[in-house]
Structure 1
Amino acid sequence: MSRAMFEYTKTILNKVSFDANLFCKEVQKALQRLLPYEIEELKIYITSLINENPDLDKCLIYLKA
């Protein structure tokens, strides 16, 4: 079940990556829902999205905590 949540989260983040504020809100939600090892995988995924869209780097503050 939780793996499905991780895949769903990646899909949502990809869809909202056009808007940095919305992206940050979704990252915050994801950090509450996912398991610790999934959060580590999510950090890698978000880094690849930031390479494509540098405006999204505002959300890195949530991943540092």
Structure 2
Amino acid sequence: MPRMIYDYTKSVLERVSFDPVLFAKELKKAIKNLLPYEIEQLKKWLQYFTQEHPELEQCLKVVN
């Protein structure tokens, strides 16, 4: 079940990646719902994802 939440979180973040403000908002909600090891996985995914979307790099501060 937790893996499904992590995958759902990634899909939501991909869908809202057009708007950095909305992306940061969804990211904050995700951090509240994910387990600590899932947050670590999400950090790694975000580093990869923001390479393709540099406008979202400021959102990395939310997870650090």
Same-fold call, TM > 0.5? yes
Q: Residues 11-54 of structure 1: CA distance to partner in whole angstroms, max 9, x if unpaired? A: 00111111101100011001000000000000011111110011
Note the residue ranges of structure 1 that are not aligned, 5 or more in a row: none
Q: How far apart in 1 are the matches of 2:26 and 2:49?
A: 14
Aligned to 1:26: 26
Identity of aligned residues (%): 47
* One-letter identity of the residue aligned with 1:2: P
| Counterparts of residues 37-56 of structure 1 (less than 5 Å) | 37-56=37-56
Q: How far apart in 1 are the matches of 2:18 and 2:43?
A: 18
When normalised by structure 2's length, the TM-score is 0.94
* One-letter identity of the residue aligned with 1:20: P
When normalised by structure 1's length, the TM-score is 0.93
* One-letter identity of the residue aligned with 2:39: I
Q: How far apart in 1 are the matches of 2:46 and 2:22?
A: 14
Note the residue ranges of structure 2 that are not aligned, 5 or more in a row: none
